[in-house]
C-alpha cells in the first residue's frame, strides 16, 4: 500500500501547487479523500508524522534564542491574545447555543472554555512550513512568530502535564540533568562530519530528547525542542538544521495525511467546523492588534499575524484529553480535526499572498502604527555606500569581501538576520538590518545614491519582489542576482535584473578560470 500513499500525496500536492497553493494543502485533501474512499489508515503514517514533528521542533530549537522569548512583545502578546480568544470563543459558544445551533446548544462553561483554549493555539508545523517556503524564517516577523509559537507550545505542554496527572517534581528534577548532557551531545555533533552521518545524528538526538522527556512524563515533542535548544550555540547548528530540511518535510507528509483519518465527519460536524474556521480572520486581527499595542511595526505585525492565522495540532491534543476526562462531547474531537484542517488550507492560501495583501492595506495599517518603534525596529542608515549586497549568507558574505577589497567603505551589507549583520560589523565592515521585500526599507533610503545592488537571496521569488520594490522608488542603477537553476536565472532576467548568475554553473566556471593558471607552471 505504500505506493498508494506516496502516489496520492504526490498527485494532490502537485495539483494544488499548480494553482499557487502550498503542497501541504494537497496532502491534507489527500488524507480526507483516502478516508472517504474507504482506505484503511496505515499505522506507519502516524510514526512518520511523529518523527517529522520531532525533527521540526528539534530544528526550531537549533535556531532559537531564549532571550527572544523573554521580550515583552513575545510573552505579552502570547498570553494577552490567548486570554482574548478564550473569552470571545466562550461567549460565542453560548451565543450560538442560544440560537439552538447543534453541538453548541446546551454546552457547559467547562467545555466552552476548553474549546476556547484549544483554538487559541496556532500551528507550529504550518507556520514553519509557510515561513520556510517563503524564505522568511530569519526575518523579523518570522522570528517573532516562532517565538510566539514556542511560548504557546510550552503552555500546551503544561496543560497536558497537569491534565495527565504527571508529577512536576520528578519532571523538574530530571530537567536539572540536561546541562550535564551538553558536552556529550556537542562531542557527538562535532565528530559527525559533514556527510550523511550528520542528518542521522540529528534524527538520533531528536529521538533521544523525546525519549528523555517521555521518561519524565512530559511530551516527547518538547524534548526534541529542548535538545535542539541545547545545541543552538554549537558551530554546526545551522549546518545540521539545513541537512535535515528535506527529511523533515518528507516525514511531515505522514502527519498531514493522518489528519484526514481522524474520522469521517457528518454534515452538522462540517458546519460547526466551518463556523470555527470563519473566526480565523478575527484570530489574525487580534494578533495584529496586540502586536501593534506592543509597538511593533505594521508590516511586521501583519505578516506575523498571517503566519499565526490557523489552529494547532495541539488543539487536537487538548480536545482529546478533554474528551477522555469527560469534559467535552466526543464529537468535538472530530469537529476540531476538521477545523484544524480548514485552517491549514486557509493559512496556506493566505500566506501565499501575504505581501500582496500588505501592499493593498498598508496605508490603513500604518495609520495605527505606534511610536516610537521598538529598538530592534529602528531603521539603520547605509551612510555613503554606493554598493549594496543584500543577503549575507555564504555567497553574499563572499561577494561582500571581494567588493570591499576594491571599494572599501562604499560597500554596505544588508540582511534580515541581526546575527549576520553583527558579525560583519564586529569585523569593522558596514552592514545594516533590513528586509529588501519591505517597501518601507527602500522608501527610507536615497536610492539615487546607489550605483549597484547585488541580491544574494536564496529564494528567487523574494529577489523579484525586492527588485520590483526598488524599481518603484525610482532606482536607476544596476542590479545583479543569483539563482540556483537556469529557469530561475531566466525569470530574474525577465523580471528586470541586469545580471543574473546561475550559482552552480558560475562556481564551476570560476573554479576553472582560477585553476587554468596551473597549466602554465
- pLDDT in the model for residue 94: 94
Q: Is the pLDDT of residue 54 over 60?
A: yes
Comparison of pLDDT for 267 and 215, the residue scoring more = 267
Cell of 302: 501583519
Rounded mean pLDDT of 39-48?
79
Q: Which of 289, 283, 271 is nearest to 311 (CA)?
A: 283
Strands 431-433 and 499-502: unpaired
The secondary structure of the chain in percent helix, strand, coil, rounded to multiples of 5, reads 70, 5, 25
Report d(CA 418, CA 158) in Å as an integer: 32
DSSP letter assigned to residue 41: P
Report d(CA 173, CA 228) in Å as an integer: 20
Q: Is the pLDDT of residue 42 over 60?
A: yes
Q: Which of 25-34, 72-81, 129-138, 166-175 has the lowest mean pLDDT?
A: 166-175
Q: Which of 52, 229, 77 is nearest to 152 (CA)?
A: 77
Domains of the chain: 2-367 (1.20.1530.20), 379-520 (3.40.50.720)
List all residues 6 or more positions away from 10 whose beta carbon is below 8 Å from its beta carbon: none
List all residues 6 or more positions away from 400 whose beta carbon is below 8 Å from its beta carbon: 389, 392, 411, 413, 424, 429
Confidence class of residue 292 from pLDDT cuts 50, 70 and 90?
very high
Enumerate the β-bridge partners of residue 481. Answer: 455, 500
Q: What number of other Cβ atoms are within 10 A of residue 446's Cβ?
A: 9
Confidence class of residue 7 from pLDDT cuts 50, 70 and 90?
confident
Q: Which of 239-248, 416-425, 492-501 has the lowest mean pLDDT?
A: 239-248
Q: Which of 47-56, 105-114, 201-210, 301-310 has the lowest mean pLDDT?
A: 47-56
Angle at 31 between CA 25 and CA 34, to 5 degrees: 135
The listed range with the strongest mean pLDDT (153-167, 271-285, 461-475) is 271-285
Task: State the virtual CA torsion across 468, 473, 474, 476 in degrees, nearest 10.
Answer: -70
Exposure on the CB side of residue 358, measured as CA atoms within 13 A = 21
What Cα–Cα distance (Å) separates residue 218 from each residue in 169, 170, 179, 186, 377?
12, 10, 18, 24, 37
Comparison of pLDDT for 156 and 147, the residue scoring more = 147
DSSP letter assigned to residue 374: P
Element (H, E) at 241: helix 237-243
What DSSP assignment string belongs to 399-423? HHHHHHHHHGGGEEEEES-HHHHHH
Q: Which of 151-165, 276-290, 390-404 has the lowest mean pLDDT?
A: 151-165
pLDDT tens profile 347-382 = 888 888 887 888 888 888 888 888 887 777 776 777
Locate all alpha helices (DSSP H) within 408-520, ordered by sequence. Answer: 418-426, 439-443, 460-472, 486-494, 503-515
pLDDT tens profile 110-135 = 889 999 999 999 988 788 888 877 77
Task: Kindly provide the residue ranges of all beta strands, DSSP E only, lying in 290-394, ordered along the sequence.
Answer: 387-390
3-state secondary structure of 286: helix
Cis peptide before 507 (omega within 30 of 0): no
Q: Is the pLDDT of residue 416 over 70?
A: yes
Report d(CA 54, CA 149) in Å as an integer: 15
Q: Are 260 and 33 in contact (CB under 8 A)?
A: yes
Q: Is the pLDDT of residue 167 over 60?
A: no
pTM: 0.74
Q: Is the pLDDT of residue 435 over 60?
A: yes
Confidence class of residue 174 from pLDDT cuts 50, 70 and 90?
low
List all residues 6 or more positions away from 311 whose beta carbon is below 8 Å from its beta carbon: 118, 119, 121, 122, 123, 276, 280, 336, 339, 340, 343
List all residues 6 or more positions away from 178 whose beta carbon is below 8 Å from its beta carbon: 226, 230
Report d(CA 497, CA 493) in Å as an integer: 5
pLDDT tens profile 293-309 = 999 988 889 999 999 99
Report d(CA 123, CA 133) in Å as an integer: 15
Element (H, E) at 455: strand 452-455
Please give the mean pLDDT across all residues of the chain: 83
DSSP letter assigned to residue 409: G
Report d(CA 73, CA 199) in Å as an integer: 34
Q: Is the pLDDT of residue 195 over 90?
A: no
Rounded mean pLDDT of 86-111?
91
Amino acid at each position: 500500500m505504500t505506493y498508494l500513499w506516496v502516489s496520492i500525496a504526490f498527485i494532490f500536492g502537485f495539483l494544488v501547487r499548480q494553482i499557487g497553493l502550498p503542497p501541504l494543502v494537497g496532502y491534507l485533501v489527500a488524507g480526507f479523500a483516502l478516508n472517504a474512499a474507504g482506505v484503511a489508515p496505515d499505522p506507519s503514517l502516524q510514526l512518520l508524522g511523529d518523527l517529522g514533528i520531532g525533527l521540526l521542533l528539534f530544528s526550531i530549537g537549533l535556531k532559537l534564542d531564549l532571550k527572544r522569548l523573554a521580550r515583552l512583545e513575545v510573552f505579552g502578546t502570547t498570553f494577552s491574545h490567548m486570554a482574548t480568544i478564550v473569552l470571545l470563543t466562550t461567549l460565542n459558544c453560548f451565543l450560538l447555543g442560544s440560537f439552538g445551533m447543534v453541538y453548541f446548544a446546551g454546552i457547559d462553561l467547562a467545555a466552552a472554555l476548553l474549546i476556547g483554549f484549544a483554538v487559541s493555539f496556532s500551528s507550529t508545523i504550518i507556520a514553519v512550513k509557510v515561513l520556510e517556503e517563503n524564505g522568511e524564517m530569519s526575518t523579523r516577523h518570522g522570528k517573532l512568530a516562532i517565538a510566539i509559537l514556542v511560548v504557546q507550545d510550552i503552555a500546551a505542554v503544561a496543560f497536558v502535564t497537569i491534565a495527565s496527572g504527571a508529577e512536576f517534581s520528578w519532571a523538574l528534577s530530571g530537567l536539572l540533568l540536561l546541562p550535564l548532557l551538553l558536552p556529550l551531545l556537542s562531542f557527538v555533533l562535532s565528530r559527525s562530519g559533514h556527510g550523511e552521518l550528520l542528518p542521522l545524528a540529528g534524527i538520533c538526538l531528536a529521538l533521544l530528547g523525546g525519549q528523555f522527556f517521555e521518561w519524565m512524563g512530559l511530551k516527547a515533542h518538547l524534548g526534541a525542542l529542548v535538545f535542539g535548544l541545547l545545541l543552538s550555540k554549537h558551530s554546526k547548528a545551522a549546518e545540521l538544521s539545513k541537512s535535515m530540511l528535506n527529511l523533515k518535510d518528507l516525514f511531515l507528509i505522514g502527519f498531514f495525511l493522518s489528519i484526514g483519518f481522524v474520522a469521517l465527519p457528518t454534515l452538522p460536524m462540517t458546519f460547526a467546523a466551518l463556523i470555527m474556521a470563519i473566526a480565523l480572520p478575527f484570530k489574525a486581527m487580534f494578533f495584529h492588534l496586540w502586536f501593534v499595542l506592543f509597538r511593533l511595526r505594521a508590516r511586521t505585525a501583519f505578516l506575523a499575524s498571517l503566519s499565526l492565522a490557523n489552529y494547532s495540532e495541539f488543539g487536537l491534543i487538548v480536545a482529546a484529553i478533554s474528551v477522555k476526562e469527560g469534559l467535552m462531547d466526543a464529537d468535538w474531537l472530530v469537529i476540531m480535526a476538521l477545523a484544524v484542517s480548514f485552517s491549514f488550507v486557509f493559512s496556506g492560501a493566505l500566506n501565499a499572498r501575504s505581501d500582496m495583501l500588505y501592499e493593498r492595506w498598508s496605508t490603513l495599517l500604518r495609520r495605527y502604527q505606534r511610536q516610537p518603534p521598538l529598538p530592534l525596529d529602528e531603521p539603520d542608515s547605509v551612510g555613503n555606500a554606493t554598493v549594496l549586497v543584500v543577503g549575507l549568507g555564504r555567497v553574499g558574505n563572499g561577494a561582500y569581501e571581494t567588493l570591499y577589497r576594491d571599494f572599501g567603505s562604499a560597500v554596505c551589507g544588508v540582511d534580515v538576520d541581526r546575527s549576520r549583520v553583527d558579525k560583519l560589523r564586529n569585523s569593522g565592515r558596514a552592514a545594516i538590518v533590513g528586509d529588501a521585500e519591505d517597501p518601507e526599507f527602500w522608501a527610507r533610503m536615497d536610492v539615487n545614491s546607489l550605483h549597484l545592488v547585488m541580491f544574494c537571496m536564496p529564494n528567487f521569488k523574494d529577489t523579484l519582489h525586492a527588485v520590483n520594490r526598488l524599481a518603484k522608488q525610482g532606482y536607476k542603477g544596476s542590479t545583479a542576482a543569483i539563482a540556483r537553476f537556469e529557469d530561475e536565472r531566466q525569470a530574474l532576467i525577465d523580471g528586470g535584473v541586469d545580471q543574473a548568475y546561475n550559482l552552480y554553473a558560475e562556481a564551476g566556471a570560476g573554479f576553472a578560470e582560477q585553476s587554468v593558471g596551473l597549466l602554465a607552471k
